[in-house]
Amino acid sequence: MQEKPKLPAIEGWYAEDDQGAHLIGSRCTECGTYYFPKQSLFCKSPHCQSESFEEVPLSRKGTIWSYTDAQYQPPEPYVAADPYEPYTIAAVELEHEKMIVLGQVISGVQVSDLKVGMPVELVLDTLYEDDEAKKTIWKWQPAQNASE
C-alpha cells in the first residue's frame, strides 16, 4: 500500500528546509518584535508604530519553560486516535525570540523525562491521519546533541 502524503494540519504556520523544521513567524522591521502566528498589519507593541514586517523562520531550538500531559481526550476540533493515546505537552522558550510556544512533545517522551530548562528542538510530526493524508504539526523533542 502506498504511503499517505503528509499535509500540514494548519497551513502556512510551519515548514521544513535543509536546516530542518521551523515555525513561520514575522518580525517587525522597526522594533524587532517577533510574532507567531504571523502578524502583518501593525506591530502590537504599544510603543511601536510600525506596519512593516518580514516573514522569518523562528528558532528551531529552545528550552523548556514548563511541561505536562493530556490524560483525558480533548473535545473536537482535536482529532483523537481510537483508542485515545495520552500525549506530553511542552511550553518552550525559543532560543532568540524571547517567546514561549506551546506544542505536543513527540511520542515516547514522558513528563518524567523532562525538566524546566531542558534543551529541545522542533520537528514536524503527525497530529492525526484521515483517509487522504497524514496531517502534520510542530512538536518538540529533546535536543539530539544535548548529551554529547
Positions in the binding site for other proteins (CB under 8 A): 9-11, 13, 28, 31-37, 44-48, 65-72, 74-79, 87, 89, 91, 96-104, 111, 115-117, 127, 137
Q: Find which of other proteins, Zn ion, none residue 46 binds, CB within 5 to 8 Å per kind.
A: other proteins
Question: Total residues contacting Zn ion (rule CB under 5 A)?
Answer: 8
Return the SS3 of 113: helix
Q: What φ, ψ does residue 42 adopt, rounded to 5°?
A: -155, 155
Q: What mask, x for binding Zn ion by CB under 5 A, covers residues 6 to 45?
A: ----------------------x-xx-x---------x-x
Cα gap 8→94, rounded to integer Å? 21
Q: Find which of other proteins, Zn ion, none residue 50 binds, CB within 5 to 8 Å per kind.
A: Zn ion
Closest CB 62 distance from Zn ion, rounded Å? 22
Cα gap 63→79, rounded to integer Å? 28
Query: Per the omega criterion (within 30 degrees of 0), is the bond before 77 cis?
Result: yes
C-beta closer to Zn ion: residue 48 or 91: 48
Measured in Å, how far apart are the chain's first and last C-alpha atoms? 39
C-beta closer to Zn ion: residue 22 or 27: 27
Q: What are the Cα distances from residue 31, in Å, to 4, 5, 23, 56, 104? A: 43, 40, 20, 15, 30
Q: Which parts of this chain interact with Zn ion (CB under 5 A)? A: 28, 30-31, 33, 43, 45, 48, 50
